[in-house]
Structure 1
């Protein structure tokens, strides 16, 4: 049964069937041909995949990110990032990375990060003498920060599937996200001088979009910070509220939507009814895609479990080694390969029921495992053939995917080094939630 499930899904992917339909089709075909179960159970499992109350946080955080993007919050965050790091060599590349930290802490979605920030920063980087491929690469790689930082949608899914505290997972991602930001900035410093980027003295970028790009015209830090404070307060409110027991992660998502509306309408005064409609329309498309994948992945995961696939793989892993580090390294290799072909949220729901029991039997901390898996899935977003971040960034930069790969590979190498650091040093993920909760 397991072989038929995997084969049917692989055939669907090769036929370029959308992943949600490929998962559902493989599950239903296998159930029909190899079991006597009523196919109505397929519909039941699909519905069960989106019933858990904590999952309500996913569409709410996506909507909050959409409102922030059209309500002036993204623009203020870009201006602040430019004021902080714009004077460094490779200033716009650093601004790109720091903006992803700010915006990722608001939206929780890597794809939303690329879509919103990339449309401003990639053209600006091309104006400053960066190649289009490099601009696409740094944008795609920096957006990986979003799934690591709270309110990460991927961490929410991991928490729902495993029963791990979502609040603790949020805190577990903060230190790794800061380290990854530093790794990316070092990579920029090592690459921009050698490639001769960012050497022009003037740019034609609209200063109202990202602040003034030329070094002598960069806006003062304090005015930029003052303008961005309402936007920066949202992640603080989320973390303090969750830690203080004021609201659950799901309630925090609802609060984020209300806060985005208030800031966009009454403070920045850029959020009009037309823009609210646009944000809701764009968010509905992304929400529908994610929920479809989540629902059908739940059915596929249930079918795998019914066929005994997780038990067989778990037994094989434990026979290979009883060393937690060795098992984590094997998990890294598996997830890096899977991430090349399967969307991150679907991979979480399919693979976690297989990998989580093995990790728990070996005493691996679930917070450590969660962050390692999320980083793996993030790296999958910049690796072909299904690297959504890389494809979207390349499209915005107007280059083909092969040029995008040339631009992203230094950051991918740095990301794998960062992943190994996380694997060997669990305290990077467990220290902050350990002292906070």
Structure 2
């Protein structure tokens, strides 16, 4: 069954069949031709793929992020980021990096961040004489943190597919997310002077005798007022994680709390959430959730067909015949994930690979939470890698630059991301320290 389902899926992807339909079709073909199981079992599995209670967290978190965005959160988060890092070299690029961390604690989606923040920050960077390709590269690289920072849609998907605690995954993402932002801010600092600005911007900085790309003090929001205005939005991740830590609610119930909190903040605190904006957020969320749930439903029958065909066991035997060394094994897993991430969207790739890689990693003694962080970071970096590179593609479109120019500009960020990935992979304490501390009884 293994060769049949994998070859069918590969053929469907080459024909540009949407991932959800490709997974389902390949699974049904494998069941029809290689087993005696009735196809009605496949239909039951499709339904089962959408019914697990933890999956309810996905539409609720997506809706909460949309409500907060429509309710005025984005501007206040940007003002806060500007007040903190605007005085540094390449201030607005640093604002882009820091605001992505803030936004990731609400949206949980890198593509949502690029779509929302990119339409504000890329034109602002171009107006301040950044090269368009560099502005697009920064905007594409910064939201890589979003699937790592809780609440993360990708973490929820991994938790459901693998059976790993979603609460532990949320806590595991915090330190790696902060570390990624710190590394990216250093990369911006050291690359912006040579790669980021036009000659006109460099000459202007020399004339004014100030670091290039610095946002003038009179143009930066004051820190304390900005912090005060952004506090209601910043409290959302704390409410979610605190409630999970102290047992007040499960991750799924936390998502419902997040929606109520977002409504209260948008209506009564920021007072910018109108019925029109609310309905727009609902429609946008429904489209995103529909795509995710289609893939998850197909993933259930795909995972079942793989298990029926003994694909995970065969993969494990093949890998362990090469090596049983955990270090080399982790390098192989990273290599597979990076290659797949170049061609397949992150959530789809996670669903395709987790049933195969999870048993291998567990047998090798790799912690399932640590594996989850490795997988999510790998596939998040895939947002920057052509030929798909959906994050880079979207940022380049907003920045009105060619994909080739954007790829050249993003190379320093991609190299930094790969070094960061190695650090996350081989220093598991970065991911496991906080969940071990917070989730212990």
The answer to whether the superposition gives a TM-score over 0.5 is: yes
Alignment of 1:139-218 (within 5 A): 139-195=139-195, 197=197, 199=201, 213-218=215-220
Tell me, what secondary structure is at the counterpart of 1:381? helix
1:62 aligns with 2:53: no
Check conservation: 1:158, 1:164, Cα contact below 8 A.
Answer: yes
Spell out, residue by residue over 1:190-213, the C-alpha distance to the aligned partner (whole angstroms, 9 max, x if none).
1101125283769xxxxxxxxx95
Per the normalisation by structure 2, the TM-score is 0.94
Tell me, what secondary structure is at the counterpart of 1:144? helix
Q: Aligned in 2, Cα 1:116/1:266: closer, same or farther, shift over 3 Å?
A: same
Tell me, what secondary structure is at the counterpart of 1:340? helix
State the alpha-carbon separation in 1 of the partners of residues 258 and 287 from structure 2: 19
Residue in structure 2 matching 1:381, options 383, 391, 395: 383
Spell out, residue by residue over 1:203-252, the C-alpha distance to the aligned partner (whole angstroms, 9 max, x if none).
xxxxxxxxx95444211111111110111111111111100000110011
Aligned positions, number: 428
Which has the larger displacement, 283-292 or 403-412? 403-412
1:86 aligns with 2:86: yes
Check conservation: 1:293, 1:346, Cα contact below 8 A.
Answer: yes
Spell out, residue by residue over 1:253-306, the C-alpha distance to the aligned partner (whole angstroms, 9 max, x if none).
011111111101111110000000000011111110111111112222222222
Alignment of 1:6-405 (within 5 A): 6-195=6-195, 197=197, 199=201, 213-405=215-407
1:408 is matched with 410
Check conservation: 1:298, 1:350, Cα contact below 8 A.
Answer: no
Q: CA deviation at 1:178?
A: 0.7
Q: CA deviation at 1:11?
A: 1.6
Spell out, residue by residue over 1:164-198, the C-alpha distance to the aligned partner (whole angstroms, 9 max, x if none).
21111111111111110011111111110112528
State the alpha-carbon separation in 2 of the partners of residues 407 and 299 from structure 1: 40
Which has the larger displacement, 426-435 or 360-369? 360-369
Q: CA deviation at 1:385?
A: 2.2
Q: Aligned in 2, Cα 1:196/1:54: closer, same or farther, shift over 3 Å?
A: closer
Spell out, residue by residue over 1:90-129, the C-alpha distance to the aligned partner (whole angstroms, 9 max, x if none).
1111100100000001111111111111111111111111
**Cα RMSD over matched residues?**
1.6
Q: CA deviation at 1:355?
A: 1.4
State the alpha-carbon separation in 1 of the partners of residues 124 and 14 from structure 2: 36
Tell me, what secondary structure is at the counterpart of 2:401? coil
Which has the larger displacement, 262-271 or 14-23? 14-23
Q: CA deviation at 1:395?
A: 1.6
Where has structure 1 moved over 6 Å in runs of 4 or more?
Answer: none
Q: CA deviation at 1:326?
A: 1.5
Per the normalisation by structure 1, the TM-score is 0.95
State the alpha-carbon separation in 1 of the partners of residues 174 and 196 from structure 2: 33
Tell me, what secondary structure is at the counterpart of 1:173? helix
Check conservation: 1:67, 1:260, Cα contact below 8 A.
Answer: yes
State the alpha-carbon separation in 2 of the partners of residues 284 and 360 from structure 1: 35
Which has the larger displacement, 261-270 or 310-319? 310-319
Check conservation: 1:325, 1:423, Cα contact below 8 A.
Answer: no
Check conservation: 1:171, 1:432, Cα contact below 8 A.
Answer: yes
Q: CA deviation at 1:420?
A: 0.2
State the alpha-carbon separation in 1 of the partners of residues 433 and 243 from structure 2: 20
Check conservation: 2:87, 2:215, Cα contact below 8 A.
Answer: no
